[in-house]
Structure 1
Amino acid sequence: MFISNRTRPGCVAAKSTSNDTQTPKAGRRNLLQALSLAPLAAMLPAKVWAQNQLLKISHQFPGGTADSGDFRDRICRQFAAEVEKRSNGSLKFEIYPGSSLMKTNAQFSAMRKGALDLSLVPLSYAGGEVPEVNIGLMPGLVPSYEVGAAWKNAEVGKELSRILQEKGIVIVSWIWQAGGVASRTKAVVDPDDVKGMKIRGGSREVDLVLKAAGAAVVSLPSNEIYAAMQTGAMEAAMTSSTSLISFRLEEVSKFLTTGRGQSYWYMLEPLMMSKVVFDRLSKDQQNIIMSVGADMEAIAIKSAKQDDLAVAAVYEKKGAKVVDMNATTVKKWQAIARTTAWKDFADRNESCAKLIKLAEKLL
């Protein structure tokens, strides 16, 4: 398994098992090569194409090792190692952390076209392309990790999986994370706290709730939050507990609202695979991919909960004031969400309306 060691500035570089070091030009060349070869791969017989495959996994998070660092990167590494083992080496992987293979927002579309094999990315980032996926970061809709985990085999999860497969995407691992808020100016707990603040929500739906509460919304990927807060272009950011740690936002924040116990939202960050690529694998390889993906889910929940606790210690050590949510406060945000984000989502099309009703059955 090869781990690319190219990361964005400010990200933790991954340790490579290869002596090769990619240059930006080489990275672009590899991407163009992947794009050009995708149509050729699609024409090959499945038996030939699937014999020995080198698959690329891209994500936006800092790189580390299989045992340390951002747990989303660890999930990718552990997944790759276990699949390679179970497939007797017929499937091997290259992992590209820190959006080093391609830009964060390009990954979903690239998977749909077969130009990228796998990615672990917040599903809501593709909301402009597939509106239904915005349900993966719907404020107030998922009240706990347990409810999030129940989605996979519930009607809402099956419907979401069906929609994604129609769009060329296979969900390999269902990964949920609680969200918190890092702020430069004041703690963000009640909806009234965001009035007039320049704040990043992370999805269309969260942004609608923030706007209704009086905030000035800033839209950008989580790996660009640090620079925006450092310069003062943004005062606060909502993101997952792990991102609050991995992107070192404690260095540019004085306040933290944690996701431990209660949260504004839970975000779906699945490990996904191009259906074009998945369909070219042998049946045995497909079964291995999905089996290992399922095994990763329990590890992901445990790791996410650990980070919900760890983030508080990280910020307190830096001198930040740390506060928690409670059920009463969460209900205030949920009340706003029902009349803004939930309604807006349901009004977008029949498919979205169906998804929101199915999700509410689990509340």
Structure 2
Amino acid sequence: MLTRRHVIASAIAAPAILRFGTGTAHAATTLKISHQFPGGTIDKGDFRDRLCRTFAAEVAKRSGGEIAAEVYPNSSRVKTIAQFSAMRKGALDISLYPMPYAGGELPETNIGLMPGLVATYDQGLRWKKEPIGKALTDFLADKGIILLTWVWQAGGVASRTRPIVVPEDAKGLKVRGGSREMDMVLRTAGAAVLSVPSNELYAAMQTGACDAGITSSTSLISFRLDEVAKSLTSGAGASYWFMLEPLMMSKAIFDRLPKNQQDIIISVGGELEAFGRKGAQDDDIEVAKVYEKAGAKISKLDVATVSKWRDIARDTAWKDYSAKTAMSANLLKLASDVAA
């Protein structure tokens, strides 16, 4: 039986590049979609890869072959962090990209992983229709990026040593947080921090350069961190770590397309948000099963524990972020207005 683990392992060893279309010799538009996650098939594997493949297949179908797309998993076309800049320059068409990875280039994007700011999927997905959604999409469009599919993911902690549940548990450990703001919270809790993308976490934990990593449930599974972890803190019930990982497109490329193709791309992107939510929430449940099977100790977060992390974040990361730029301050205010 071909399991999800086998598919993912095979995809890591031999990244697949698939082309979607009607088989016509000359498609009017060919889009290149790059992401950092393991490749699979449209039905099996990391849901973020499947989302990209579903997007590609659906735009090809609706356009009658006018739009074709090639999916490049495992950062096989553009290196992980560089994908955002490549889209802004028009050198890459589309990426499913963790927004805070762009924080070094545009600090405002760190709103996409502000500890304790988003507490539920409902709250995060409401951003799109609230003033925060308009402000963020307008800001990104001005910088050359269009949001196609809003994808939020809750996160948990994989640790080589003791479980990290309350802030005090992080003291003395080397921890990957996932954003500048999360790193500030960890430092306040007494941890040392390591800044690497999630696809580099396995090697960092395997070598001992990193004791624990906080990342999405899907990445905790897909990057096989259960092989190097002795404990898991699940974010399925509650979490202070919600990452915005949208499907993004280069505005320069989008603007060159005819109106009918733009409409198809926007429509398909929006419709895939339900797919993204289900994939993320399914993995919030699945991750505990995977780690339990591997022999890891499973811990859970509750509302009271999340509040402890949020209190630290408000006094450190939130203040620091809002002081960065006027846009940062406005984004934080608008996001704070969206009730959980």
TM-score, with structure 1 as normaliser: 0.88
Helix, strand or coil for the counterpart of 1:56?
Answer: strand
Amino acid paired to 2:218: T
Q: Of residues 96, 99, 102 in structure 2, which corresponds to 1:120?
A: 96
SS in 1 for 2:291: helix
Q: 1:92 aligns with which of 55, 68, 73?
A: 68
- CA shift for structure 1 position 13: 3.8
Match for residue 228 of structure 1 among 204, 208, 215:
204
1:284-303 equivalence runs, <5 A? 284-303=260-279
1:206 aligns with 2:182: yes
Q: In the aligned structure 2, how far is the partner of 1:14 from the partner of 1:228?
A: 22
CA distance in 1, matches of 2:82, 2:250: 13
User: 1:11 is matched by which residue type in structure 2?
Assistant: I
Within-5 A mapping of 1:1-363: 11=12, 13-17=14-18, 52-363=28-339
Q: CA RMSD in A?
A: 1.6
CA distance in 2, matches of 1:232, 1:347: 35
Cα distance in 1 for partners of 2:105, 2:237 equals 33
Deviations 1:282-311 (Å, cap 9, x if unpaired)? 111111001000111001101110000000
CA distance in 2: counterparts of 1:165 and 1:114, whole angstroms = 13
Report if the CA contact (8 A) 1:14-1:65 is conserved. no
Cα displacement string for residues 112-145 of structure 1 (whole angstroms, at most 9, x for unaligned residues): 0000000001000000111110000010000100
2:99 & 2:132 partners in 1: Cα distance? 15
- For residues 53 and 86 of structure 1, the distance between their equivalents in structure 2, rounded to whole angstroms, comes to 13
1:269 and 1:9 map into 2 onto residues whose CA distance is: 24
Code of the aligned partner of 1:193:
D
Partner amino acid for 1:54?
Answer: T
Deviation, structure 1 residue 8: 11
Identity of aligned residues (%): 61
Paired position in structure 2 for 1:38: none
Is the contact made by 2:17 and 2:71 (CA closer than 8 Å) also made in structure 1?
A: no
**How many aligned positions are there?**
326
Structure-2 change in CA distance of 1:303 and 1:230 (3 Å): same
Q: Aligned equivalents of 1:78 and 1:146: distance in 2?
A: 23
- After superposition, the C-alpha distances for 1:187-223 in whole angstroms (9 at most, x for unaligned) are 1100000001000001001001001111000010100
Tell me the TM-score normalised to structure 2 length.
0.93
Work out whether residues 122 and 267 of structure 1, in 8 Å CA contact, stay in contact via their aligned partners in 2. Answer: yes
Superposed displacement of residue 9, structure 1: 10
How far apart, CA to CA, are the structure 2 residues paired with 1:356 and 1:17? 39
Note the residue ranges of structure 2 that are not aligned, 5 or more in a row. 1-7, 20-25
Offset from partner CA, 1:292-334 (integer Å, 9 cap, x none): 0011100110111000000000000000001110000000000
CA contact (8 A) 2:159 2:230 kept: yes
Letter in 1 for 2:166: D
Runs of at least 4 residues of structure 1 off by over 6 A? 7-10
Would the aligned equivalents of 1:8 and 1:100 in 2 still touch at CA under 8 Å?
no
